[in-house]
């Protein structure tokens, strides 16, 4: 484990404990009131979901064409985090939507493409778990196709009515709201890096163990 890991993990824990206090200090949004505060966890989780999906796609493509097992481990770790952050975003989203839009779910472009991306990540994990030998290439191919798929889902759903606010909202936020948002953002980013590092390490240990088993058999 690298030297920075434990201090960083402790910092991340402290930041998570402090985040409710920071969020409580932010002013109430004029029309949505208290329920808007879910945004401080929803948006960072959604961004981390996207970041880990991109890491998974890029690592998979590199694994497929170069055959480097380290990239495969990174892809697997990122896929698990995609599912994790995806769950957070997909659970907090409807909670907020119920109050803001009056419905739990809308077949809106962002919602649909997030759900489809999340399903591809789940399918990736299912392949890894139940695919048997050779499943790492299969999963890498799936990740590659899943990445290529996102623009199509986006365009096809964009032809229906869209109600999700766009990312252009973020820079216009006043400091009193932007501050807590960026604080939560940093917390989630740190969590992503820590979990990714931990999961890749687990993968490396697995690979080493497998190699030792093989060496014993011979």
Task: Summarize as ranges the residues that interact with other proteins (CB under 8 A).
Answer: 64-65, 116, 119-120, 123, 126-127, 130-135, 137-138, 141-142, 144-146, 148-149, 152-153, 155-157, 159
Give the integer Cα–Cα distance in Å for 91 and 71: 30
Answer yes or no: are the C-beta atoms of 122 and 54 closer than 8 Å.
no
The backbone torsions φ and ψ at residue 29, rounded to the nearest 5 degrees and listed phi first, read -75, 145
Give the integer Cα–Cα distance in Å for 46 and 170: 14
Measured from the CB atom, the residue of 28 and 152 that comes closer to other proteins is 152
DSSP state of 182: H
Shortest spacing between CB 152 and other proteins, in angstroms: 4
Shortest spacing between CB 74 and other proteins, in angstroms: 18
Shortest spacing between CB 154 and other proteins, in angstroms: 9
Shortest spacing between CB 68 and other proteins, in angstroms: 13
Measured from the CB atom, the residue of 36 and 113 that comes closer to other proteins is 113
Shortest spacing between CB 149 and other proteins, in angstroms: 5
Measured from the CB atom, the residue of 65 and 104 that comes closer to other proteins is 65
| Dihedral class, residue 67 (left if φ above 0, else alpha if ψ from -120 to 50, else beta) | left
Measured from the CB atom, the residue of 156 and 176 that comes closer to other proteins is 156
Residue 183 token pair: 């604080």
Measured from the CB atom, the residue of 137 and 164 that comes closer to other proteins is 137
Give the integer Cα–Cα distance in Å for 36 and 152: 30
Residue 133 token pair: 């030998």
């Amino acid at each position: 484990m690298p030297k920075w890991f434990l201090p960083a993990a402790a910092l991340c824990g402290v930041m998570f404990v402090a985040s409710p206090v920071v969020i409580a200090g932010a002013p109430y949004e004029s029309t949505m009131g208290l329920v808007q505060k879910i945004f401080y966890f929803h948006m960072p989780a959604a961004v981390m979901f996207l970041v880990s999906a991109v890491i998974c796609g890029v690592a998979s493509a590199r694994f497929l064409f170069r055959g480097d097992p380290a990239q495969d481990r990174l892809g697997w770790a990122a896929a698990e985090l995609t599912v994790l952050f995806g769950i957070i975003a997909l659970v907090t989203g409807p909670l907020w939507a119920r109050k803001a839009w009056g419905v739990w779910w809308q077949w809106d472009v962002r919602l649909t493409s997030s759900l489809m991306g999340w399903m591809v990540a789940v399918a990736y994990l299912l392949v890894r778990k139940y695919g048997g030998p050779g499943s790492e290439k299969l999963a890498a191919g799936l990740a590659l196709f899943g990445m290529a798929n996102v623009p199509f889902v986006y365009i096809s759903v964009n032809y229906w009515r869209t109600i999700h606010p766009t990312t252009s909202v973020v820079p216009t936020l006043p400091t009193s709201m932007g501050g807590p948002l960026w604080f939560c953002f940093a917390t989630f980013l740190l969590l992503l890096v820590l979990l990714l590092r931990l999961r890749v390490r687990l993968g490396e240990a697995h690979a080493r163990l497998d190699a030792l088993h093989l060496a014993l058999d011979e």
